[in-house]
Every structure is written in C-alpha cells, then in structure tokens.
Amino acid sequence: MNTLNEIERAYFLGIGGIGMSALARYFKSAGKLVAGYDRNPTQLTAALQEEGITVHYHDSPAEIPEAFNSPEGTLVVYTPAIPNDLKEMAFLKERHHKLYKRSEILGMLSVEKKTIAVAGTHGKTTVSTMVAFLLMHTAAGCNAFLGGISKNLNSNLIYNPNSNWMVAEADEFDRSFLKLHPYAAVITAIDPDHLDIYGNVDEMHRSFDLFASQISENGMLIMKKGIPLNMRSIKANILTYSLQDDTDFHARNIRLQEYQSCFDLVGPGFTITDISLKHPGMLNVENAVAATGIASILGVEYDIIRRTMVNFTGIRRRFDFQVMKENIVYIDDYGHHPKEIEATISSIRDLYPGRKLTGVFQPHLYSRTRDFADGFAESLGLLDELILLDIYPAREQPIPGISSEIILNKVTISNKMLCRDEQLINELAKRNIDVLLTIGAGDIDRFVEPIKKLYT
C-alpha cells in the first residue's frame, strides 16, 4: 500500500477504542467498507454498528468478513492495547496482510493536511475538541480526530474532504504522537505518566521534546507556562498560555457561575471580551484560553470565536454534569492522573464552596496505581468522602501486591472505603449525597445511568 487512496476496505483490531473508532468512522465516511473486532460491546461500538460498520466481539478468524481476507486493497489497523496472542492478528499475518498501528495511519493522514496537534498528559481532549469546533465554523472548515465524544457532534470525528485543515489529538501513549509532523501544536501538560512505556520521567520528557521539534519551521507551538521543554530543539515559533499569569495568552475578568463561565482572552496585541462557556470551572477556562489562543493565531475571527464558544457543549466524560438540582449535583469525569483529579476537584470546590463532595474513583492500570499511589492519595484527599473501586486493568495483567487498597491506606481523610463494583449503587443509595463526582478512565461510565436514576 503506497497511499491510503488505494484501499477499498479497512479492518480494525480493537475498533471500540476512542482513537480507533474515529479512524473507522473516517474510512466509512470516505466510502470504504469497514469492519472490526473488539473484546466487549459498548455504547461506542453500538454507535459504529448503527452507522453501518460491522463489529464482532469474539476473537475468531471465522468472524472476519470474507471480503477482508485478501490483503489486496485491504488496510488492517491495530491498537497497541490488544494482546500479542490475538488469533485474528495471527490469521491476518498468515494471509500476508501488513498491519499498521493506529498512530501510523493518523500520521499518514496528517501529512495530507495542515495539521494542528494537541498534546499533553491531561487537557488535550477538551482543547482539541474546542479547536476543531472553532475551525469547523469558519469558511475553511476542518477534519478532526478527537479523543472523546463531542456532545455537539455526537462523534469523535469531523470529516470534511474539502478542507485542508486537520485537528488531531496527539497521544503520548506508546509514543504515538511521534508519527505526527504538525504545522501547529498545543502542549497542555507533561506531568509524569505512562512510566510503563517510558521507564522514567526523563525519557518521557525527551519524547515531548522530540514531538515539539517535529512542528513545522513556519508553524507555531502554544505551550502552557512552565512546561520543561528543550527550547533549542524547537524550530517553530513559541507562544505561552496560562490561566491568569502574564503570558502571551491568558484570561482576564473571569466570572464563574454555576452553569457557565465568562472571561476576556488577552493575546499578543489584542483582547477578545466576553467569551462565554456553558461549562463552568477554572479548569475549563484554562482549556478555553489554549483553544481560543491558537484559533486566533490561525486566523479565526474574533466574532466567530465569541459566537462559537458559547455554543460549545463539551465532551462526554470531561467535567460532565449529569444531574444539576438544588439539593444534589452529579458530575462524571474521565480523569485518571493525580494532577487531573486535583484540577477537577479544585474546580468543583470553586463552584460549590462549603458543600460536601463525595468522590467515587476507579484506578486505571496496575502500573499507574503503583507509580502514582502517593499522588492519587494526595489529590483524592481533597474530597470529603472517598469510595474506591477495584483497579481497572485494561491491557495489563495484575501486579502482585498492587490494589486499590494501597491508595486507600495513604489517603488522609477519615471517611473512605473500598467498594466492589456490584455494591456501588446500594452504597450511594444509603448515603446523603450533596455533590457527587465519579472519576476514572476504565468502565466506571457504566454506572452513570444507574446513578442518575437514583437522583432524578
């Protein structure tokens, strides 16, 4: 396969992943035949099936549609999260298919467009979705591959074959973002993470340095103030952003309300007044500073920024309000890193000072729990009450001695407990909940609807 234009069919191993599903939707939108395998049915795989994509849930070569057996005209994409002993992978290799990582295909697509890549250990999904939402409201339009489901679009893909712009979430896991050579980029944070991949923090920082060095010489990097990058390796123009510090882009005149936020964006030589967000909290204001900052530099008109941001309804599982009543508030969030959790809890405290905050946390990965137990304990200690679920293993096998209990033992608040998944709803039902936060990157989202039923 010399170019992606040559393919007629695309088959995905791990099609239910957020990045994989965006690629599957892209090829379906481009008129290709698309199918795939995933381990479990989810709301996302059900949506793919409704869109005409064939999905099955048993690792069986016999279930691969016959049209995909021939390597000629067939693209096979896999996610690093699938096990190496997958039967379907072995079968496709035996049939002489060349298998591509998701990041390789995203890299190929990005070469064909003027790409804006948003990287960072947290914040990248919100910022990239905001940037894409802004660009799609311009005459130029955009394509976008997002790391979450946009509520405005009910999708993680924007497909516009007539646009030369592309927004991509640049994932640091498995060094995937090094396949991208963007025109412009945003880096939101490089807090330690994925040490199972990188081994140590220095190696992780080197990967971010390399990513930043791959930005076009004529392009730009907008980075959060204080990020420790090797500036000498960066060819692009560098601008900084922060919430309220004296940086190239920052917010002024911030007004927080329960159901919205409003601020003025201060940029190099200009101010855009009264940018309103339907999503409250200082964390969302900071993300909006990054997104509106790069949009303004890319030439999005100030009036479009103002008119568009007020209609941005957010991303599923990112500071996602599920119940908003006078006597109870319920927020669901994808946070799975100590710094993310700290920022989310702090934003909730700003909105609801003096109210009791109960958090339900599902740790994600044994290795992350082992590496950041102290950080999790510190951030979760900002709650009034903590309910800890079992670790969601994702791609990992258990690590001896590592469980949610090691976090529990380090958390300093007294009102804390371990809870089995099947006991969670009953445990919440007997509590006097004021403000509730569910948080985690595993399958904790399957509790969202049952929890909503408790309070609506």
Q: pLDDT-based confidence at 395, cuts 50/70/90?
A: confident
Whole-number Å distance between alpha carbons of 287 and 188: 8
**Residue 122 class from Cβ within 10 Å (0-12 exposed, 13-18 middle, 19+ buried)?**
buried
Mean pLDDT for 54-77 is 96
Least confident span in 15-19, 195-199, 356-360: 195-199
Whole-number Å distance between alpha carbons of 105 and 100: 7
Q: How many residues does the chain have?
A: 456
Percent of the chain at pLDDT > 70 equals: 99
Is there a shared CATH topology between the 4-100 domain and the 113-309 domain?
Answer: no
Whole-number Å distance between alpha carbons of 85 and 301: 51
Q: Which residues, including other chains, have CB under 8 Å from residue 448's CB and lie 6 or more apart?
A: 322, 332, 438
Mean pLDDT for 126-130 is 97
Residue 443 has pLDDT above 70, yes or no: yes
Which residue did the predictor score with more confidence, 355 or 4? Answer: 355
Residue 22 has pLDDT above 60, yes or no: yes
Whole-number Å distance between alpha carbons of 251 and 236: 24
What is the three-class DSSP state of 126? Answer: helix
Contact yes or no for 250/289 (Cβ under 8 A) = yes
Q: pLDDT-based confidence at 65, cuts 50/70/90?
A: very high
Q: pLDDT-based confidence at 1, cuts 50/70/90?
A: low
Contact yes or no for 206/213 (Cβ under 8 A) = no
For residue 194, the model assigns a pLDDT of 80
Mean pLDDT for 399-428 is 97
For residue 2, the model assigns a pLDDT of 53
Whole-number average pLDDT of the chain: 94
Contact yes or no for 445/332 (Cβ under 8 A) = yes
Whole-number Å distance between alpha carbons of 401 and 384: 27
Whole-number Å distance between alpha carbons of 453 and 437: 15
Q: Does domain 4-100 have CATH number 3.40.50.720?
A: yes
What is the three-class DSSP state of 196? Answer: helix
Tokens, residue 19: 């990045």
CATH architecture of 113-309: 3-Layer(aba) Sandwich (3.40)
Q: pLDDT-based confidence at 279, cuts 50/70/90?
A: confident
β-partners of residue 117 are 168, 185
Q: Residues 320-455: name the CATH superfamily.
A: Mur ligase, C-terminal domain (3.90.190.20)
Residue with tokens 């959790």: 341
Residue 3 has pLDDT above 80, yes or no: no
Q: What letter does residue 16 receive in the DSSP assignment?
A: T
Domain boundaries, the chain: 4-100, 113-309, 320-455
Residue with tokens 């800890």: 388
Mean pLDDT for 3-17 is 91
Residue with tokens 């137990």: 373
Percent of the chain at pLDDT > 90 equals: 86
The count of other CB atoms within 10 Å of the CB of residue 58 is 10
For residue 396, the model assigns a pLDDT of 87
Whole-number Å distance between alpha carbons of 112 and 4: 10
Contact yes or no for 127/287 (Cβ under 8 A) = yes
Tens digit of pLDDT for each residue in 362-386? 999 999 999 999 999 999 999 999 9
Mean pLDDT for 72-91 is 93
Q: Using DSSP, how many helices (H) and how many strands (E) does the chain show? A: 15, 21
Q: What letter does residue 182 receive in the DSSP assignment?
A: -
Whole-number Å distance between alpha carbons of 14 and 37: 6
Distance from CA of residue 5 to its chain's centroid? 28
Contact yes or no for 136/167 (Cβ under 8 A) = no
Which residue did the predictor score with more confidence, 197 or 163? Answer: 163
| Cα angle 89-92-93, degrees, rounded to a multiple of 5 | 85
Q: pLDDT-based confidence at 4, cuts 50/70/90?
A: confident
Mean pLDDT for 13-28 is 97
Whole-number Å distance between alpha carbons of 30 and 443: 31
Residue 288 has pLDDT above 90, yes or no: yes
